[in-house]
Amino acid sequence: MSSLQMPKVDSSILSKKDKIVSDIGKIINPKNVLSHPDELRPFETDGLTAYRQMPLVVVMPETVEEVSNVLRYCNDNKVKVVPRGAGTGLSGGSLPLEDCVLMAMGKFNKILEIDYDNRCVVTQPCVTNLAITHAVQDKGFYYAPDPSSQIACSIGGNVAENSGGVHSLKYGATTNNLLGIEVVLMDGTITKFGGKAMDSEGYDFLGLMTGSEGLLGVITEVTVKILKSPEIVKAALIGFPTIEDAGNCVAEIIAEGCIPAGMEIMDKALTKATNDYSKAGYPTDAEAMMIVEFDGTEHEVEAYINKAKQIAEKNNSSSLKVSKSNEERLKFWAGRKAAFPACGVLAPDYMCMDGSIPRGKLAEVLREITRLSKKYDLPVANAFHAGDGNLHPLIMFDANDKESLKKCEEFGADILKYCVKVGGALTGEHGVGIEKRELMCEAFNDKDIQQQLTIKVALDPNSLLNPGKVYPILRKCAEEGRVHVHGGKTKFPDIPRF
Amino acid sequence: MEEKQNFQTSLDFSQNIFKPSTREEIVEVVKNCYKKGIPLEISGLQSKNKIGRNFQAEKTLDLSNYKGIIDYKPEELYIKVKAGTPIIEIEEVLEKNNQQLAFEPNDFGFLFSGESNSGSIGGVVACNFAGSRRFKVGSVRDHLLGFQGVNGKGETIKSGGTVVKNVTGYDLCKILSGSFGTLTVLTEISIKVLPKPETSKTLIIKNPHVKKALDYLGQSLSSSTDPSGGVFYPDYFGKNFILNDLTHDGGLTGIRIEGPMNSVDQRIDRLSKELALIDNEFSVLDSVQTKIFWNKTKNLEVFKNSKSNLIRIVVPISETLQVIQKLKKDDLNYFIDWGGSLIWMAYDHLNSKILSEIKEITKNHQGYYTLIKIEDDFKASADIFTIDPIKYKISEKIKKSFDPKRIFNPGKMYTGI
């Protein structure tokens, strides 16, 4: 693990471990309280495996009342709590702390209700994203957000991270497909935000909780919208001689009024790697390869595909293939979806970065990434959700080599800073977690961050829920001159820091 | 040091209405009010200012001069504007690039003053009322990409940005949408824009019965014909629509289909078959008439010049029929939008007994109401917005985190908030 600074460990909590285990064992079934190192080991990391830390205790509640009682106990006894869903997050959002109770929601794994009249599904949070679609597809419905990890990631985690996927431009991210949640606050309050209706009364707490990375509450129930599956889906596989041509093609497709269901670009490095790995039939000589997909009714899809073809040709496309069957379309995607394992073949480890950029800046950002790749002497391959401007550079490194990990971290940080510089965001869909925490002051000034921290404190006055995530250690921001420090004191001394 | 400098501008604080044209002036007004604990009413273009509880504010911050387009990138699908910019100006600019605000903001002008006043973008975000495309594209909050604003201490804050995918920090865009100016004065707003559909048509089904209408709407929304509007007008309102291809003047169900020309025709045809409609039972409005029909709907024009009280009720679609059956008395009129989920209900007379019944019924059916228009005598004592005790407590905390001295629109939503 690198020198990541985490909240100060409370040694009095460590020394009370046995009491905490026994106390919580009285609140919930003691079989669901894990404390032996062998039992804790599986929970020491999440999808960001470069960082590991064993928690003090793992609890696996089975009911919302148990969640509430455990949180209230921890709140009263000033014990930190880290919530965890399926543990697939890529920004370290559920990395444990040495003195924390890790609340693993794995037993909340049932779909509670499928309501076709209201076109929604009510589910427990640890049901996987894909399981929702599986539960409704026989009636021709599906759940739209489709993060790459959808086979494993939990819907509660999707809510916590506001996960997206390749179809976000047309169908939105989790926040746009969510109707309601049940949530437990750190003081044990159980409440519901939203429900089956399209809007709800008062402030939009549903929207505030979505993407709050487990800092404001623990989600115990989720109601999502389901959509009727489109009648037909077609994709075109297009090669371009330059990144600029591909970028221009994206801009023109959108300017023409076509909103594709998905639009992906891969650079030459990734096209080659994925093609070697999955034999997807990609144009490996192209500098950039695009998959553009349209869905809808037959006439609609035909009209859009033809328009996209014309635009691609106008922008010097070197190859163009339209899927003739669903099998062929899935083959187009097979390579893209195998991007991670394909990179795994090329290097011992890779770090998947996640930044958002204005679509028109793609060529500029990729040039900068190429420059940085040479500077840090680490290979990189790029996947880009061109439709919604979400860039995923995959930096290859060797985690056993500390120097290599450090270089990779710096390389990644430089990419994200550049994303912000061109008008984008630090994270498009993976969340800030621990990974991008210190970069928050690139995107926000101290007033912006203080406003967010004030909200945190309003709901969790002792900052016990998932501390150390999302928000920077302000001292570091201050050192870099981004937080106003006067006389050695930051503003808002009443806000606890770690 | 920083604060002293800001107070050295030319603002005359003895006036009661401020019409700032720069953000610095807004900051100064708010800082002054914060310092002295003076309540401040935030106003835009007066299109929705009657919505909300009565409250006392010593000063008014009128943002109608704080307007203008800051940045519009059609190919990036966003427009960034100052909060006081009229919706009508934004729509004109978007129109030139064949784009639109897909959430179809309601125009409450007809309801309150008898003529169009679609208000400002700041007001539209603050109220978060979306038009008929709600079930397909989401509400105003789903289109707000980022903002800059001034919190209750006079600090300039921001969240979000101009890109669609952004999960950096808490999503403050959501909590500010629909907060009725009680948390932050919005100064800059980045909003998602979308291409206008090539064409649109409307399937109009002659039908006076709400139960049948809800069946039609439910089936349509669950079909792959992908409608973008679903509305039911009972007999009483049918006569309000005089359109060439509207062949009757009674109750009607309208379903809008948008997209490329031949696809729209194909889907209209398919939908009429799926709903098993016979020839003389329906008609199809062309794109011009479709525009008129849905504009009248989003503008609540059937209530133009009406003296009645108006309530906005949102319930899950499965509950709509029961809610209407329980609420419907002879002296009220209503229509249904959002494919069945939104009921606009007019009451000639309203009192606390009737209102508590409405509250009970909507709550029991997993929904809520908002009083949009209400007779003056009753307004002071009526619950304009509903809330449960737990959410009220959380709301108090959130209010305090943005506006610790409660200077922004105090009491506009709830007592004490």
Q: Are residues B135 and B241 in the same domain?
A: no
- Looking at chain B, the whole-number percentage of residues with pLDDT higher than 70 is 97
The total of other beta-carbon atoms located within 10 Å of residue A422's CB is 15
> Please, which residues 7-46 of chain A have a Cβ atom closer than 8 Å to chain B?
none
Measured in angstroms, the CA of B347 and the nearest CA of chain A are apart by 21
For residue A430 the two structure tokens come to 């993976």
In a domain, A497, yes or no: no
CA A295 to each of CA A5, A68, A262: distance values in angstroms, whole numbers, following the listed order: 46, 43, 9
Overall size of chain B counted in residues = 417
Overall size of chain A counted in residues = 498
Closest CA to A497 of A6, A1, A83: A6
Give yes or no for B353 touching A (CB within 8 A).
Answer: no
Q: Are residues A287 and A334 in the same domain?
A: yes
Task: State the Cα–Cα distance between residues B185 and B191, nearest whole angstrom.
Answer: 16
Provide the pLDDT confidence category of residue A258 given band limits of 50, 70 and 90: confident
Q: Are residues A390 and A463 in the same domain?
A: no
Split into its structural domains, chain A has a count of: 5
In a domain, A430, yes or no: no
Q: Return the C-alpha torsion angle A293, A294, A299, A302, nearest 10.
A: -30
> Please, which residues 469-488 of chain A have a Cβ atom closer than 8 Å to chain B?
470-471
Task: State the Cα–Cα distance between residues A87 and A126, nearest whole angstrom.
Answer: 10
Residue A485 has what pLDDT?
38
Mean of pLDDT values over A300-305:
92
Instruction: Give pLDDT tens digits for B288-316.
Output: 999 999 999 999 999 998 889 999 999 99
Q: Are residues A137 and A221 in the same domain?
A: yes
In a domain, A73, yes or no: yes
Residue in A389, A430, A470 closest to B169 by CB? A470
In a domain, A495, yes or no: no
Q: Are residues B276 and B305 in the same domain?
A: no
Residue whose tokens read 């009972």: B234
Mean of pLDDT values over A428-451:
91
Mean of pLDDT values over A207-232:
97
Closest CA to A174 of B138, B104, B80: B138
Residue spans of beta strands (DSSP E) within A74-118: 80-84, 100-104, 111-115
Q: Are residues B286 and B249 in the same domain?
A: yes
Q: Are residues A94 and A123 in the same domain?
A: no
Give yes or no for A370 touching B (CB within 8 A).
Answer: no
Q: Are residues B162 and B215 in the same domain?
A: no
CATH no. for residue A416?
3.30.70.2740
Percentages helix, strand, coil for chain B (3-state, rounded to 5) are: 35, 25, 40
Whether residue A484 has pLDDT greater than 80: no
Give yes or no for A418 touching B (CB within 8 A).
Answer: no
Give yes or no for B135 touching A (CB within 8 A).
Answer: yes
Give yes or no for A168 touching B (CB within 8 A).
Answer: yes
Q: Which of B98, B103, B129, B166 to mutate to test the interface with A (most CBs of A within 10 A)?
A: B166
Q: Are residues B253 and B316 in the same domain?
A: no
Split into its structural domains, chain B has a count of: 3
Lowest mean pLDDT among A104-118, A465-479, B249-263, B325-339: A465-479
Q: Are residues A237 and A334 in the same domain?
A: yes
Q: Are residues A265 and A308 in the same domain?
A: yes
φ, ψ dihedrals at A381, nearest 5°: -130, 145
Domain carrying residue B5:
1-196+387-417
Q: Which of B168, B365, B402 to mutate to test the interface with A (most CBs of A within 10 A)?
A: B168
Could you list the mean pLDDT of each consecutive 10-residue stretch along chain B, which spans 417 residues? 47 90 96 97 96 95 98 95 98 97 97 96 98 97 98 97 90 98 98 95 94 97 95 88 84 95 93 94 96 96 92 98 88 90 94 94 97 92 95 98 98 96
Residue A301 has what pLDDT?
94
CATH no. for residue A172?
3.30.465.10
Q: Which of B103, B170, B180, B401 to mutate to test the interface with A (most CBs of A within 10 A)?
A: B170
Q: Are residues A287 and A331 in the same domain?
A: yes
Domain carrying residue A280:
232-339
Chain B residue closest in CA terms to A452: B170
For residue B220 the two structure tokens come to 């349509």
Give yes or no for B162 touching A (CB within 8 A).
Answer: yes
Provide the pLDDT confidence category of residue A494 given band limits of 50, 70 and 90: very low
Whether residue A90 has pLDDT greater than 70: yes
